[in-house]
Amino acid sequence: MVLTFIEWSVSPEVFPGTWFPVRWYGLLFAGGFFFGYLIMQKIFKYENLPIKLLDQLATYMVIATIVGARLGHVLFYEPALYFDDPLEILKIWNGGLASHGAAIGILFALWLFSMKNKKPYFWVLDRIVIVVALAGVFIRLGNLMNSEIFGIETTLPWGFIFTSWDQVPRHPTQIYEALGYLLIFIYLYRYYWKTDGKPRPGYLFGMFLVLLFAIRFLIEFVKVPQVQFESGMMLNMGQWLSIPFIIIGLIIIVMKPKVLGKKG
């Protein structure tokens, strides 16, 4: 029997029709932080760092990710809508998170963390991006369970029909991104241990920016625009926002280690 498209009618709730309204997205979002914490715990123990410091770092990351992603969506995609009704900004459960906003929020929060704890900024970034890549896998799978952020129409046999929207087979761009982020995680994680926990300062962070946002840039070509104003653009908002991150990543990779600060 030849596979002819995949009908996707999964409920976004873990226990649909019950009094316990747990959503797959929230569960996977939390799972990304949980497994990321375990990996960072292993790294901190290997480098003889106190777990209390990791707990503080985790707090910075959680707040920065949620606040940054929400404000990023508000400012980059639908500013007029939210400025007309500012209270809507607080209703995260209604959806509307932007990965580029999360990236900016995380960069700022980690800078504050490095200043407070007197750790080189690139030391923090090189380690945190390992688990951020993994978290991206969980988040995109959460988008899949929500039947959101999908692609344009396709005739490929692995096209998904998201029945809650229409009966058109589409690119499962959530899976494309999840697989891409998984490969990035594997590369960064293996490289960290290959260098005995002492990667060249800035290298992992630079590679993360280049690889992740290059994947994001390419997949956007087969993704349905998130908001209406993107429809007439040569490159959509996600692609325009990805370009600076790619350029910054390339600059960091080619810079000399001494420019980036001491190793942690």
Chain-wide mean pLDDT for the chain?
85
From residue 235, alpha-carbon distances to 189, 224, 226, 248, 261 in Å are: 32, 12, 13, 19, 35
Distance between CA 258 and CA 261 in Å, rounded? 6
Q: Which residue has the tokens 């200043």?
A: 115
Tokens of 92: 């995260």
Quick check: is 15 in a domain? no
**Could you give the number of structural domains in the chain?**
1
How far is 89 from 71, CA to CA, in rounded Å? Answer: 8
- Distance of alpha carbon 215 from alpha carbon 176, whole angstroms: 9
Which residues neighbour 13 within 8 Å (Cβ) at sequence distance 6 or greater? 21, 22, 23, 24
Average pLDDT, integer, range 211-236: 83
Structure tokens at 234: 């040569």
Q: Is residue 8 part of a domain?
A: no
Q: What angle do CA 202, 124, 194 make, to 5 degrees?
A: 60
Q: Is the pLDDT of residue 39 over 60?
A: yes
pLDDT at 102: 79
What distance lies between CA 13 and its chain's CA centroid?
22
For the ranges 62-71, 90-99, 158-167, 171-180, the lowest mean pLDDT is seen at 90-99
Instruction: Report d(CA 192, CA 187) in Å as an integer.
Output: 9
Burial class of residue 252, CB neighbours in 10 A (0-12, 13-18, 19+): buried
Smallest CA-to-CA distance from 171 within 220, 222, 133, 136 is with 222
Q: 3-state class of 216 per DSSP? A: helix
pLDDT band at 262 (very low <50, low <70, confident <90, very high): very low
Q: Is the pLDDT assigned to residue 207 strictly greater than 70?
A: yes
Task: For 215-242, give one letter per residue: b (16+ CB within 10 A) or e.
Answer: bbbebbebbbbbeeebeeeeebbbbbbb
State the CB neighbour count (10 A cutoff) for residue 10: 15
Asked whether residue 11 is assigned to any structural domain, the reply reads: no
| CA pair distance 130, 186, nearest whole angstrom | 8
What's the confidence (pLDDT) of residue 185? 98
Segment 164-195, tens digit of pLDDT: 999 999 999 999 999 999 999 999 999 999 99
The model's pLDDT over 72-91, given as tens digits with 9 standing for 90+, comes to 666 656 666 556 556 555 55
Confidence band, pLDDT 50/70/90 cuts, at residue 19: confident
Residue 17 placed within a domain: no
**163 confidence band (pLDDT: 50, 70, 90):** very high
- Kindly indicate the confidence band of residue 27, based on its pLDDT and cuts at 50, 70 and 90: very high
How many other CB atoms are there within 10 angstroms of residue 70's CB atom? Answer: 21
86: in domain: yes
Is 66 exposed, middle or buried (CB count within 10 Å of its CB: 0-12, 13-18, 19+)? middle
Average pLDDT of the segment spanning 217-234: 78
Are 120 and 114 in contact, with CB atoms under 8 Å apart? yes
Q: Which residue has the tokens 């697989």?
A: 179
Residue 68 pLDDT greater than 90, yes or no: no
Range of the domain at 173: 22-260
Q: Hey, what are 169's tokens?
A: 């087979």
Instruction: Tell whether 7 is covered by a domain.
Output: no
Model pLDDT, residue 186: 98
